[in-house]
């Protein structure tokens, strides 16, 4: 039984997006190309050689021009926080040049002005699946140690420019996804099936060092800044009580937990070093790298959409958010096969809190669905009761976890406005409380319409959770 249905007074309610999925303006304001500009079909398909007209991300939902109107809608929802990413190639069009692009920096000044006007706290992701294309092609992304320096210069530029008005920062979106999506997550141009494990692990090491280095730089520039790591959180349950299944779960968990373990503890855990040894991988770790890694994060943030099972002998394959597993026979699933598990969110919050004792921030959670626009009393809307149910059920579990004693700073729903999907690169997989009239063939007026869930979330925020 909950003793109180409201959330802590300081709880940060809001929504989260990424530049490449909503900004558009892919060649405006001096922006260089990013890997997403050549990924018209999402993660499963190989990239194209240049931007093609079928790539919905090139125009996105035109946030680049409509940010003021969209932020006003977020203010109407009552947002306390808005998570967005900076497009690296807006700031450094190639990625390896020395001077930043002033027009790109000025765009985010304007976004921050707008947020400030509405009293919405910004939360910036420095790198969200949008490595400059030049860095991917010329250096093979994070496999190359020089990426650390390029990222440091980029991060320092952001902290110096915005560090006095942005308190919350994330270094890399879903950093553990690099194991599964090396191009999207690591800017690694070599196709996944040709990538040597040694190069992949070295890329991971470079990202971890860059992340720690950015944390150090941020704290030097402004000690009040809070830097977090960001991982995919996906509880894995044993398919059966067989200890072999439980062991398999532990090993899969380790693959994911290693990233936050390094971010929080400042060194590699033993099980990770064992994995490397057994894979015959010898990492190039310098003494300076070891020192840098000691700059640990202030909080742990994560995305949570679903859970999966594992079994030593395998089982029916389950769809996942970038990574897969074995299907859970007890859970329903979204149209894309992601299994819906609100209780898993409480479990993961407890697990992370017990393991790291760092404040937690749920920076993505949401339901992708096919929405149908209907007319109601002369206004266009979507009757998305399925989204309301998903949101309510997950928030109830967040409240349970807070009651368990877990420190949770906030919750940002993924895609409060419809954006282009990361996995499918389409718009028909919608998450928003705000419908955007843009279809998979690129047609549509880009008009915004409030869905039924808009009012529901606004009430939740206004009552600080009491209306749940
Ligand atoms: C996460 C990404 C987001 C977002 C979300 C939903 O993995 O960080 O960028 O897109 O998943 O995924 P999708 O858009 O594939 O449904």
Could you read off the pLDDT of 258-278 as tens digits, one per residue?
999 999 999 999 999 999 999
Q: Would the CB of 365 count as within 6 Å of ligand 1?
A: no
Quote the pTM value: 0.98
Compute the average pLDDT of residues 201-210. Answer: 98
Residue 323 pLDDT exceeds 90: no
CB atoms under 10 Å from CB of 246, counted, come to: 15
Q: Would the CB of 414 count as within 6 Å of ligand 1?
A: yes
Task: Say how many Å lie between the CA of residue 220 and the centre of ligand 1.
Answer: 32
Catalytic residue among 364, 375, 383, 400: 364
Task: Say how many Å lie between the CA of residue 71 and the centre of ligand 1.
Answer: 21
The pLDDT, as a whole number, for residue 316 is 86
* SS3 category, 243: helix
Give the pLDDT band (50/70/90) at residue 6. confident
Domains of the chain in start order, with CATH, are 12-462 (3.20.20.80)
Structural contact between residues 373 and 449, judged by C-beta atoms closer than 8 angstroms: yes
Distance CA 242, CA 275 (A): 23
Q: Would the CB of 42 count as within 6 Å of ligand 1?
A: no
Identify the residue whose C-alpha is closest to ligand 1 atom 9: 422
The pLDDT, as a whole number, for residue 420 is 98
Q: Would the CB of 413 count as within 6 Å of ligand 1?
A: no
Distance CA 182, CA 204 (A): 10
- Three-state secondary structure of 320-369: CCCCCEECCCCCCECCCCCECCHHHHHHHHHHHHHHHCCCEEEEECCCCE
Compute the average pLDDT of residues 40-65. Answer: 96
Give the pLDDT band (50/70/90) at residue 3. low
139 membership: H or E segment, kind and range: helix 133-139
Task: Say how many Å lie between the CA of residue 303 and the centre of ligand 1.
Answer: 9
Is 364 a residue of the active site? yes
The pLDDT, as a whole number, for residue 315 is 83
- Which residue out of 127, 364, 417 has the highest number of ligand 1 atoms within 8 Å of its CB and is therefore the one to mutate? 364
Task: Say how many Å lie between the CA of residue 43 and the centre of ligand 1.
Answer: 11
Residue 1 pLDDT exceeds 60: no
Q: What is the pLDDT of residues 107-118, one digit of tens each?
A: 999 999 999 999
Residue 2 pLDDT exceeds 80: no
The pLDDT, as a whole number, for residue 324 is 86
């Amino acid at each position: 039984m909950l003793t109180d249905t409201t959330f802590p007074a300081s709880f940060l309610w809001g929504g989260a997006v990424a530049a490449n999925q909503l900004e558009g303006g892919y060649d405006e304001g001096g922006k260089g190309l990013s890997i997403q500009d050549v990924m018209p079909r999402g993660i499963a398909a190989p990239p194209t050689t240049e931007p093609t007209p079928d790539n919905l991300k090139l125009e996105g939902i035109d946030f680049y021009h409509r940010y003021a109107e969209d932020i006003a809608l977020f203010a109407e929802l009552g947002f306390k926080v808005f998570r967005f990413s900076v497009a690296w190639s807006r700031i450094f069009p190639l990625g390896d040049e020395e001077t930043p692009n002033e027009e790109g920096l000025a765009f985010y000044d304007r976004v921050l002005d707008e947020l400030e006007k509405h009293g919405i706290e910004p939360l910036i992701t420095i790198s969200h699946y949008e490595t400059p294309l030049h860095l991917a092609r010329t250096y093979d992304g994070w496999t190359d140690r020089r990426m650390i320096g390029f990222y440091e210069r980029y991060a320092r530029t952001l902290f110096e420019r915005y560090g006095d008005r942005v308190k919350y920062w994330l270094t890399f979106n879903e950093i553990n996804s690099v194991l599964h999506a090396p191009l999207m997550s690591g800017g690694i141009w070599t196709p996944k099936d040709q990538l040597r494990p040694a190069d992949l692990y070295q890329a991971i090491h470079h990202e971890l060092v860059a992340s720690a280095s950015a944390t150090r730089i941020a704290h030097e520039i402004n000690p009040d800044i809070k830097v977090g790591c960001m991982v995919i959180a996906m509880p894995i349950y044993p398919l059966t009580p067989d200890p072999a299944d439980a062991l398999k779960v532990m090993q899969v968990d380790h693959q994911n937990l290693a990233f936050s373990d390094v971010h929080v503890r400042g060194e590699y855990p033993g099980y990770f070093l064992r994995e490397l040894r057994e894979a015959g991988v010898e990492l190039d770790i310098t003494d300076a790298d070891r020192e840098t890694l000691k700059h640990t994060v202030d909080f742990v943030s994560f995305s949570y959409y679903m859970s999966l099972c594992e079994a030593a002998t395998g089982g029916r394959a389950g769809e996942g958010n970038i990574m897969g597993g074995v299907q859970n026979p007890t859970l329903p699933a979204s149209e894309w096969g992601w299994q819906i598990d609100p209780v898993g969110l409480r479990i993961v919050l407890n697990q992370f809190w017990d393991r790291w004792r760092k404040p937690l921030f749920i920076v993505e959670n949401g339901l992708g669905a096919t929405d149908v626009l209907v007319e109601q009393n002369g206004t266009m809307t979507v009757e998305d009761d399925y989204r309301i149910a998903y949101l309510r059920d997950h928030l109830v579990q967040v409240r349970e976890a807070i009651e368990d004693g877990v420190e949770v700073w906030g919750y940002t729903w993924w895609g409060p406005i419809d954006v282009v999907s990361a996995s499918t690169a389409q718009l028909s997989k919608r998450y928003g409380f705000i419908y955007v009239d843009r279809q998979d063939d690129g047609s549509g007026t880009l008009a915004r319409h409030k869905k039924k869930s808009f009012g529901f979330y606004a009430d939740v925020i206004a009552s600080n959770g009491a209306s749940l």
